[in-house]
Amino acid sequence: MTMTRQETDKLLLLYVKQALLVGMYVSFGLLTIGVVIYLASEGDVGKVLGPIDAIESALNLEAQGWLSLGIISLILTPLLGIVAALVVFVRAKEQRMAGVALLVIGVVALAIMVKMIV
């Protein structure tokens, strides 16, 4: 069964809204933990760490790791919204829009990979 344009729009709005809210709450939670650890330890917070170093640092209960994970998740939150839109477009059989969403995800993934290499 094909979805009407109105049904697609409602579902798109719902999925993207939920994805962005989840990303925002996760980011806020990670940043809050980082700030609390920072205030409790009075340690130094340097630059934002990469994902692997941030996880390692967070597991050692270092503020820098938690803050870095919060910033990384905040940066990736819009990508989560695009993934949510992709799900809706695939369900609605909107191949052109699904292709555009895949292209955007691919460009972001390529940019992340290039940044990790350079």
Range of the domain at 9: 5-117
Residues 71-92 pLDDT 10s: 999 989 999 999 999 999 998 8
How many domains in the chain?
A: 1
Supply the angle between the helices 63-91 and 95-117 in degrees, to the nearest 10. Answer: 160
By CB atoms closer than 10 A (0-12, 13-18, 19+), residue 6 is: exposed
Measured between alpha carbons, how far is 74 from 108 in angstroms, rounded to an integer? 14
The pLDDT tens digits of the residues spanning 3-34 come to 788 888 888 889 899 999 999 999 999 999 99
What is the pLDDT of the chain when averaged over all its residues? 90
